[in-house]
Amino acid sequence: MAIRVGILGYGNLGRGVECAVNTANDMELVGVFTRRGPATVKIASSGVKVYHTDALETMTNDIDVLVICGGSATDLPEMTPKYAKLYNVIDSFDTHAKVPEHFANVNAAANDSGKIAIISCGWDPGMFSINRLYSHAILPNGATYTFWGKGVSQGHSDAIRRIEGVADARQYTVPVPAALDAVRSGSNPELTTRQKHTRECYVVAKEGADKAKIENEIKTMPNYFDEYDTTVHFISQEELDRDHSGLPHGGSVIVSGTTGVDNQNTHVVEYKLNLDSNPEFTGAVLTAFARAAVRLNNEGAKGCKTPFDIAPAYLTEEDGDFIRAHFL
Amino acid sequence: MAIRVGILGYGNLGRGVECAVNTANDMELVGVFTRRGPATVKIASSGVKVYHTDALETMTNDIDVLVICGGSATDLPEMTPKYAKLYNVIDSFDTHAKVPEHFANVNAAANDSGKIAIISCGWDPGMFSINRLYSHAILPNGATYTFWGKGVSQGHSDAIRRIEGVADARQYTVPVPAALDAVRSGSNPELTTRQKHTRECYVVAKEGADKAKIENEIKTMPNYFDEYDTTVHFISQEELDRDHSGLPHGGSVIVSGTTGVDNQNTHVVEYKLNLDSNPEFTGAVLTAFARAAVRLNNEGAKGCKTPFDIAPAYLTEEDGDFIRAHFL
């Protein structure tokens, strides 16, 4: 019997999950749930209903796992514990500093209901986290580096859009090639924030806006830009729409460590992503972990988990005999 | 209490495991076990005893996990089921075609004893397998490529040494840069064996040997060399010892797949290893899985597992709170 999936939230990420669920042979999309008026939300899947979130109170017999596609700032801290009381749930919570609190809240709810919640499923946190952990476990005498990009940071793009005089903006995070080379060489360099990444901004100014002032506000913005070498390009809305409408992203987790009686041998492990669509890849990761959540819950497991707690065999639709024959 | 580890077999791999166990804060090396005369085996660790394998019949109360460092052709098919009747065991079985048979034999033994056996722990099979599986689970609409090298293939080096007139040899497997570039571009090329790798051989000929005949025998050797573009360099024993005494290896698992309503977005995932010492890295992987075996068995799990069945959290000495704070 197919795994029955619900999607809560229908932005870019929800659409990414929808694609991945429709690609899976062992899953069925039961419905998309929205806080907006359901009639106003048009989804890509034919024959699948859009519901108001209120319907989730009464559909526990119809859904095996609910994939929660909300933001980490305000949506997920409320939604994930709330729905873990009713469903197996998956989220992509990515506020690193608040993971302990979120984990504790979700764990209490899921233990109470006997359901499983897997939080922080995506690529960072998610696949990058898994790779940081595997490499650390193998090379405890090592250093871990994470590079992001080249790719669009939606948080930084939003930050620019909030500046007075800005009509639209797109920000790319770009790793510094010399830093990547140094890390890949195994030399374990110490790198400052500025040495690891640069930031490239494409900005549409409103008519009559003071571009020099906008550029200065971007470059000096605390946390977002002040610690980076930032380039600002002013372009037209047409150029932005034509050349910067995609959401590519990616990056590398690189661990270099030593082994041997005198630590004389160096090993470099790199996990690298090059993604045309950040939300579709993230949605595909969420979907694989949704499958794992249902399988584990069927075996009696409950409570809050992270990708660290999930054996890879649970993520794919094929069984043990098949994966040993084809992937081992 | 520290995890008490035994190492069975003291070749390059056994020495690699020894280094990794001595690096771990939560492990203690109990002994090295050998089929040779124990007095003839000098190990790197001080204060650790070398035993004959016969001692394993009576040391079940002293060892939490036995890491079996034997060859896949004849050692492991016999040893792993045999010792899974007494101990939690780990091996690096790498004969892909015989995995189902080995798995079944080991599973029967380990289920019987209530112990855990984790087979095929290394980098291929092992970390490469895990990455093939994760990427397939996320991108089921994709293609998987594995490249090996540049690195020393001990099997191919041995095959050359068996040729008449050869005193010594070292063979490097080298991925073809154009093939790597094509795969990394996401174009999903179809590649023949010859297009993916070349083979570079450094050969020491015996005095008076017919070098042209040796070169021809290498290049036409079925399975090992005939499907590859092979280069043969004749060098002196001094040069071989000076320039080719290491055992570096590595390679890449690359999966490229598409997502989106019209499969319009391409994603490329690469896991890449660059290893100074193949046996030391492999030994470090075996050691991490040895830790997982003990933990899982302490939780009541038993039977034969592969790296696919082990959640990453079990591999590292730190606990859940720590790894969520530092690696998620």
Residues of A in contact with B310 (CB under 8 A): 311
pLDDT at B63: 98
Q: H helices of chain B, where?
A: 12-23, 75-84, 99-113, 127-138, 154-161, 177-184, 193-196, 211-219, 237-243, 278-298, 320-326
pLDDT at B68: 98
**Which residue among A132, A274, A316 places its CB closest to the CB of B137?**
A316
In Å, what is the CA distance from B229 to each residue of A209, A309, B224? 63, 44, 11
Confidence band for A1, pLDDT divided at 50, 70 and 90: confident
| A231-258 CB burial, b ≥16 within 10 A, e <16 | ebeebeeeebeeebeebbbbbbbbbbbb
Residue of A46, A131, A146, A265 to mutate, testing the B interface (most B Cβ within 10 Å of its Cβ): A265
Rounded Cα distance, B214 and B165, in Å: 7
For the segment A158-198, what is each residue's pLDDT rounded down to a tens digit? 999 999 999 999 999 999 999 999 999 999 999 999 999 99
Query: Could you tell me which chain B residue has the CA closest to the CA of A253?
Result: B271
The full DSSP string for A243-263 is HS----EEEEEEEEEEESTTS
- Looking up tokens 């062992």 gives A26
Q: In this complex, is the C-beta atom of A195 within 8 Å of any C-beta atom belonging to chain B?
A: no
Confidence band for A241, pLDDT divided at 50, 70 and 90: very high
Rounded Cα distance, A20 and A280, in Å: 8
For the segment A2-46, what is each residue's pLDDT rounded down to a tens digit? 999 999 999 999 999 999 999 999 999 999 999 999 999 999 999
For the segment B205-222, what is each residue's pLDDT rounded down to a tens digit? 999 999 999 999 999 999
pLDDT at B168: 97
Contact across the interface for A328 and B134, Cβ inside 8 Å: no
Q: Which stretches does DSSP call E strand in chain A?
A: 3-8, 27-34, 49-52, 65-68, 88-90, 116-118, 142-148, 151-152, 166-175, 197-205, 229-234, 249-259, 265-275, 303-305
pLDDT at A225: 96
For the segment B81-113, what is each residue's pLDDT rounded down to a tens digit? 999 999 999 999 999 899 999 999 999 999 999
Contact across the interface for B139 and A284, Cβ inside 8 Å: yes
pTM, full prediction: 0.97
Confidence band for B230, pLDDT divided at 50, 70 and 90: very high
- Nearest residue to B65 via CA among B19, B110, B117: B117
What is the average pLDDT value for chain B, to the nearest integer? 97
Contact across the interface for A259 and B23, Cβ inside 8 Å: yes
Contact across the interface for A138 and B281, Cβ inside 8 Å: yes
Those of residues 235-254 in B touching chain A at CB distance below 8 A are none
Once rounded to an integer, what is the mean pLDDT over residues B287-291? 98
Rounded Cα distance, B250 and B259, in Å: 29
Q: In this complex, is the C-beta atom of A320 within 8 Å of any C-beta atom belonging to chain B?
A: yes
Q: Any idea what DSSP says for residue A93?
A: -
Helix (H, G, I), strand (E, B) or coil at A136: helix
pLDDT at A187: 94
For the segment B51-73, what is each residue's pLDDT rounded down to a tens digit? 999 999 999 999 999 999 999 99
Residue of B184, B265, B326 to mutate, testing the A interface (most A Cβ within 10 Å of its Cβ): B265
Query: Could you tell me which chain B residue has the CA closest to the CA of A322?
Result: B100
Contact across the interface for B327 and A309, Cβ inside 8 Å: no
Query: Could you tell me which chain A residue has the CA closest to the CA of B262?
Result: A19
Contact across the interface for A130 and B134, Cβ inside 8 Å: yes
- Looking up tokens 């391409």 gives B266
Residues of A in contact with B316 (CB under 8 A): 133, 136-137, 140
Q: Report how far apart the first and last C-alpha atoms of chain A are (Å, whole number).
A: 27
Residue A242 has pLDDT above 90, yes or no: yes
User: In chain A, what is the greatest distance between 2 CA atoms, to the nearest angstrom?
Assistant: 67
Identity (one letter) of the amino acid at A323? I
Residues of B in contact with A103 (CB under 8 A): 324
Contact across the interface for B120 and A316, Cβ inside 8 Å: no
Give the pairing of strands A265-275 and A197-205.
Answer: unpaired
**Which residue among A131, A259, A291 places its CB closest to the CB of B19?**
A259
Contact across the interface for A288 and B137, Cβ inside 8 Å: yes
Contact across the interface for B317 and A266, Cβ inside 8 Å: no
**B126: phi then psi, degrees, rounded to nearest 5:** 140, -115
Provide the shortest C-alpha distance from residue B270 to chain A (in Å).
5
Give the pairing of strands B229-234 and B197-205.
Answer: parallel
For the segment A68-127, what is each residue's pLDDT rounded down to a tens digit? 999 999 999 999 999 999 999 999 999 989 999 999 999 999 999 999 999 999 999 999
**A58: phi then psi, degrees, rounded to nearest 5:** -120, 10
In sequence order, the 6+-apart residues with CB closer than 8 A to the CB of A76 are A68, A70, A91, A92, A93, A102
Q: Which residues pair with A168 in a beta bridge?
A: A204
**Which residue among B127, B184, B309 places its CB closest to the CB of A313?**
B309
**Count of beta carbons in the 10 Å neighbourhood of residue A19:** 24
What is the average pLDDT value for chain A, to the nearest integer? 97
Q: In this complex, is the C-beta atom of B99 within 8 Å of any C-beta atom belonging to chain A?
A: yes
pLDDT at B1: 86
Q: In this complex, is the C-beta atom of A98 within 8 Å of any C-beta atom belonging to chain B?
A: no
C-beta of residue A230 within 8 angstroms of C-beta of residue A219: yes
Helix (H, G, I), strand (E, B) or coil at B295: helix
For the segment A290-306, what is each residue's pLDDT rounded down to a tens digit? 999 999 999 999 999 99
Q: In this complex, is the C-beta atom of A266 within 8 Å of any C-beta atom belonging to chain B?
A: yes
pLDDT at B51: 98
* Count of CB pairs separated by less than 8 Å, A with B: 207
Q: In this complex, is the C-beta atom of B151 within 8 Å of any C-beta atom belonging to chain A?
A: no
Contact across the interface for A315 and B133, Cβ inside 8 Å: yes
Residues of A in contact with B268 (CB under 8 A): 272-274
Q: In this complex, is the C-beta atom of A194 within 8 Å of any C-beta atom belonging to chain B?
A: no
Rounded Cα distance, B250 and A193, in Å: 30
Residue of B98, B139, B259, B321 to mutate, testing the A interface (most A Cβ within 10 Å of its Cβ): B259
pLDDT at A156: 95
ipTM of the complex: 0.97
Q: In this complex, is the C-beta atom of B224 within 8 Å of any C-beta atom belonging to chain A?
A: no
Contact across the interface for B327 and A308, Cβ inside 8 Å: yes
Contact across the interface for B311 and A306, Cβ inside 8 Å: no
Rounded Cα distance, A17 and B126, in Å: 29
Those of residues 169-188 in A touching chain B at CB distance below 8 A are 184, 186
**Count of beta carbons in the 10 Å neighbourhood of residue A174:** 17
C-beta of residue A102 within 8 angstroms of C-beta of residue A79: no
Contact across the interface for B284 and A311, Cβ inside 8 Å: no
Q: In this complex, is the C-beta atom of A124 within 8 Å of any C-beta atom belonging to chain B?
A: no
| B310-320 CB burial, b ≥16 within 10 A, e <16 | bbbbbbbbbee
- Nearest residue to A318 via CA among B133, B106, B253, B270: B133
For the segment B300-322, what is each residue's pLDDT rounded down to a tens digit? 999 999 999 999 999 999 999 99
- Looking up tokens 């797949």 gives B257
Q: In this complex, is the C-beta atom of B189 within 8 Å of any C-beta atom belonging to chain A?
A: no
Confidence band for B243, pLDDT divided at 50, 70 and 90: very high
